[in-house]
Copies of this chain bind each other. A is one copy, B any other.
Amino acid sequence: MTAGVSDEERLARAALTRVVEPGDEHAGRWLREYGAVELMARLTAPAPAPAEGALTGAGERRIAGYRIRAAGACPERDLEAMAEAGGRFICPGDPEWPSQLDDLGAARPVGLWLRGRPDLRIWALRSVAVVGARACTLYGAHVAGSLGSGLAERGWVVVSGAAHGVDGAAHRGALAAGGATVAVLACGVDVVYPRAHAELIGRIVEQGLVIGELPPGGHPTRSRFVLRNRVIAALTRGTVVVEAEYRSGSLVTARHARCLGRFTMGVPGPVTSGLSAGVHELLRGEAVLVTDAAEVAELVGDIGDLAPERRGPVLPRDLLGPSGARVLEALPARGGLDGGAIARRAGTTPDEAVVRLYELQSLGFVERHGDGWQLTPSAMCPSNARRGGA
């Protein structure tokens, strides 16, 4: 599929997404020690005699579980099914692999299943997570939607979990602003959960990305929801919690973010609301209080190492794909245009144009200001962006 990862490695890793639960650090350490191909070979080899090794009872039971699931894995079928659904599977070593996930150490995903056109690695460079309560209030939904649209208008990719409540509102806000959004699912990316979000998830596949660790058909469980949160935290430059009760899953995401050195933010609410109690607890700790998208963007945009747009393009223009190059050519030398106008000039659809514009922004070629997109000053400098011609 892409250079750098062998077919054998990809097959083994696709198989392992069916064998290993998300975030399983035991398996992660073995994977690091043996590699994916060798680990799958061991798990599918005839079982050793019980006396071999120094495993505890629990370790033996864990390995027995891996063996049973490894025997049933059929990664060729999974990869084929995903390709038929227009999706793909990416592994560490792929150009599209977001290297910030490596911060998860032994809990790094074995691989990721993806649906959608954008390049995950590039989009994740300028992404922020907006998470919160499923059973949020109208206030929480309003704030999440405003954050989603406000961040999208500022050129940020909005990452969330596609759940009811705050998650859904954040995705919808980004989509409504013609912006970029990524849903990280706790189930297979071909599974629609929650059912009521079928249309929303379909729209995200069209205009953004739906990603997850589970293989096709994988169903969400309580622990998978919790472990999904570490991917949201690791993928993004910061996590904003909008409404959360004490001991809620969103607080888990925020704590992951803090442990990973990402920005942790919270939107306050009435102290009389139990749905803001968890956020306030967070804000009494190390999280930063934010009240709107501008404050979020100011905070997460404030460090230089992940902000290529401040340094100009990070790769020459002739390395862009054909679609990205066409969209870049469609931008006027002066002033801005909205996504629709750029799509018409580039001869593509508005959704495709948005996908490429966010990529181009992460790469430092363009900037979004409200509804308009324009070339960055450095991208217009011939010695820089236009080297190699286009």
Interface residues of A (CB under 8 A from B): 139, 142-143, 267-272, 276-277, 280, 283-284, 288-292, 295
Question: What 5 A-B pairs come out closest when comparing CB atoms?
Answer: A268-B268, A271-B291, A283-B289, A280-B291, A284-B289
Please give the count of copies of this chain that the complex contains. 2
Tell me which residues across on chain B come within 8 A of A139, comparing CB atoms.
Answer: 270, 272
Which of A139, A270, A277, A280 gathers most chain B CB within 10 Å? A270
- A-B contacts, 9 of them at CB < 8 A, read A139-B270, A139-B272, A143-B271, A267-B271, A268-B269, A268-B270, A268-B276, A268-B280, A270-B270
Q: CB within 8 A of A269: which of B270, B277, B295?
A: B270
Determine if A288 and B280 form an interchain contact, defined as CB atoms under 8 angstroms apart: no
Contact check, B291 vs A289: say whether CB atoms are below 8 A apart: no
Residue of B nearest to A267 (CB): B271
Distance from A31 Cβ to chain B, minimum over Cβ atoms (Å): 42
Q: How far is the CB of A288 from chain B (nearest CB, A)?
A: 7
- Least distance between A389 CB and chain B CB atoms (Å): 47
Most chain B beta-carbon neighbours within 10 Å: one of A272, A276, A292: A272
> Which B residue sits closest to A280, measured CB to CB?
B291
Nearest CB on B from A264, distance (A): 14
Give the complex CA separation of A269 and B276 in angstroms. 10
Q: Across the interface, do A283 and B271 meet the contact criterion of CB distance under 8 Å?
A: no
For A295, what are the chain B residues with a Cβ–Cβ distance below 8 Å?
Answer: 284
Known: A268-B268, A268-B280. 19 other contacts (CB 8 A): A139-B270, A142-B272, A143-B271, A267-B271, A268-B269, A268-B270, A268-B271, A268-B289, A269-B269, A269-B271, A270-B270, A271-B291, A271-B292, A277-B291, A280-B289, A280-B291, A283-B283, A283-B289, A284-B288
Which residue in chain B gives the minimum CB-CB distance to A295? B284
Q: Which of A143, A272, A284, A289 has most B Cβ within 10 Å?
A: A289
Complex CA distance for A283 and B290, rounded to whole angstroms: 9
